[in-house]
Amino acid sequence: MNQSNPPAQRSRWFGLAVLCAGMFMIITDGTVVNVALPTIQAQLGFAQADLTWVVNAFVVPFGGLLLLAGRLGDLVGRKRMFLVGLVAFTLASALCGLATTQAMLIGARFVQGVGGALAAGVILGKITTMFSDPKELGKAFAIFSFVLSGAGAVGLVLGGVLTDAFGWHWAFFINVPIGIAGVLLAVRVLDDDEGLGLSGGTDFLGAAMVTAGLMIGVYSIVGSTERGWSSPYSWGPALLAVVLLAVFLVRQSKVSNPLLPLRLFRSRNFSATNGLQILYVAAAFGMFFVSALYLQLVLGYNPMQIGLTFLPMTAVTAVVTLGFAAKLNARFGERQVLIAGLIPVAVGLGLLARVPVDGTFVVDFLPSMLLLGAGGGLVVPALTALAMSDVPPVDSGLAGGLFNTMQQIGGALGVSVLAVFSTLHTQNLRAAGEPDVVALTSGYQLAFGITTGFIVLCLIGVITLLRRVSKAAPEPVAETAG
């Protein structure tokens, strides 16, 4: 593709906009639905224990299928997989909005998760192959990273507006016109890519193993939030997931046409960034989760106010990510920028670990939001670029799917760990006679302290494990058929 061709350049950027719009819709859907949960519970008669399945029915297939979706994109074409996923997600969104029973809603949410995984799993791979110029690729990663960072906060505000004004059904119906527009535009502006093809044979047994293992693993993590890890319904599925994934990895070292070529993990940056992302996302998702609870249960904020609380962070993230991240990565290297970004994130979370019972937004939240926005605006683009830096184009879909999978696992794990520890601490303080609001606040302080620890560990890992990325073209990795 001719880099100097203006129509071709515009086509790439239009294509990026369509891909990011699809990702934005998928991520926003999660937080929009969370805000609508109380209304859904009241109108469809969900028991409290069953209400979590409105969320989990999406999270389990979404987290479990991302890796497979990324690899299928490499094999059959990333544009094709994106379109199939977007169509499925859009149709399932309409069914969610039309749902009149609990079973219909949960079933449609499961299909939403499948469609979301098929679309999201190939987006990073598609971006990597669309932009061959390093500077353009850096800008593309920055834009994509902003979508990842900002969509959650926007969803909180949007969910409050839609639910209050039109009812919970519109938390799902809003996806339909966006999805239809996305499909029509994607057909026009995304380049066709045929993929490697399935003719050489595909490891279907391995695909079944890894998908089942990831789904069961995600199920065990999200379920532990309610049941705790002492329950056999938590550690039993987790053990089964570990066994399935271990057998899958052994199989990948032996089959001639592996679903996950283990040669990818010869790159220290690829392996380390995927592991470090779990720590970072666990802290980030956990911060949103605990902050929302603190604002609602201690300070008495409504959903709209909670969403607005995160907007300063989103605004700063936009300025840093879109205005500075790509330039700083190009000048100083992603590793150095990642270190510089993690420091304000750690400080911001450390400040949140001191939130008081009678906290105020300006004094106790705004400084942290600004620090988290500035730091996160540097961290996410740098992590993304490092994760994809040594990946050959033939494996970019798989690498992107794995990167997104680690994000989902990190988010689910972070929420689970923080929920368990903060709840236990709160219960102990209540049993000791502390007032309820004091016990709750102390539990949230502990949770924020744990997120700070996650970031400190992530910072240590970046310093000790990651290497500087050479601006020269990376050495090609030997490719295998199919």
Instruction: Give the model's confidence band at 402: pLDDT under 50 very low, under 70 low, under 90 confident, else very high.
Output: confident
The Cα–Cα gap between 25 and 376 comes to 21
The Cα–Cα gap between 466 and 475 comes to 17
| pLDDT higher than threshold 60 for residue 479 | no
How is 119-142 classified by DSSP, letter by letter? HHTTHHHHHHHH--SHHHHHHHHH
Q: Which helix (H) or strand (E) holds 55?
A: helix 48-76
Instruction: Give the model's confidence band at 49: pLDDT under 50 very low, under 70 low, under 90 confident, else very high.
Output: low
Say what the pLDDT of residue 468 is. 64
CATH node for 9-191: 1.20.1250.20
User: Model pTM?
Assistant: 0.80
**Segments in 190-325 forming alpha helices (H):** 204-227, 232-252, 268-293, 303-309, 311-320
Give CA 337 to chain center in angstroms: 21
Fold: same for 9-191 and 262-465: yes
Fold of 262-465: Growth Hormone; Chain: A; (1.20.1250)
Q: What pLDDT, in 10s, does the model give residues 94-140?
A: 999 999 999 999 999 999 999 999 999 899 889 988 888 888 888 88
Q: What is the CA radius of gyration of the chain?
A: 22
Range 176-197 average pLDDT? 86
Instruction: Give the model's confidence band at 38: pLDDT under 50 very low, under 70 low, under 90 confident, else very high.
Output: confident
- Domain regions of the chain by residue span: 9-191, 203-259, 262-465
Instruction: Give the model's confidence band at 423: pLDDT under 50 very low, under 70 low, under 90 confident, else very high.
Output: confident
Top-confidence residue, 297 or 463 = 463
Least confident of 43-52, 54-63, 102-111, 472-481: 472-481
| pLDDT higher than threshold 70 for residue 198 | no
Q: Which helix (H) or strand (E) holds 186?
A: helix 175-189
Backbone angles phi and psi of 271, in degrees to 5: -65, -45
Share of the chain above pLDDT 90, in %: 37
Share of the chain above pLDDT 70, in %: 90
